[in-house]
């Protein structure tokens, strides 16, 4: 039972790290390279900012769930 829980926590950790890494790696070039070059309007950039913010909030909620899983498995 403990081994399955460890695998589930590892999988959730990888998922969280992927969400954070991909969202930031897409947002940074879009914000600082593509937007000025292509002249994207501010409203589209705000939309992309909100999408990345939602992804980071999702990751934060999953981090709290992972923390709770680890705490419950120890005691």
Encode pLDDT of 41-51 as tens digits: 999 999 999 99
Q: How far apart are CA 72 and CA 18, in angstroms?
A: 24
Q: Please compute the mean of the pLDDT values over residues 46-68 and round it to a whole number.
A: 96
Contacts of 73 (CB under 8 A, 6+ apart): 2, 5, 9
Res. 28: pLDDT tops 60 = yes
Residue 46 pLDDT: 94
Q: Please compute the mean of the pLDDT values over residues 4-20 and round it to a whole number.
A: 95
Domain positions in the chain: 2-74
Q: How far apart are CA 54 and CA 50, in angstroms?
A: 6
Residue 35 pLDDT: 86
The pTM for the full model equals: 0.87
Q: Please compute the mean of the pLDDT values over residues 22-38 and round it to a whole number.
A: 92
């Amino acid at each position: 039972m403990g081994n399955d829980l460890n695998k589930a926590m590892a999988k959730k950790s990888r998922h969280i790290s992927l969400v954070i890494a991909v969202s930031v790696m897409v947002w940074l070039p879009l914000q600082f390279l593509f937007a000025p070059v292509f002249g994207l309007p501010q409203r589209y950039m705000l939309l992309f900012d909100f999408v990345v913010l939602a992804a980071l909030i999702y990751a934060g909620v999953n981090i709290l769930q992972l923390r709770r899983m680890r705490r419950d498995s120890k005691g």
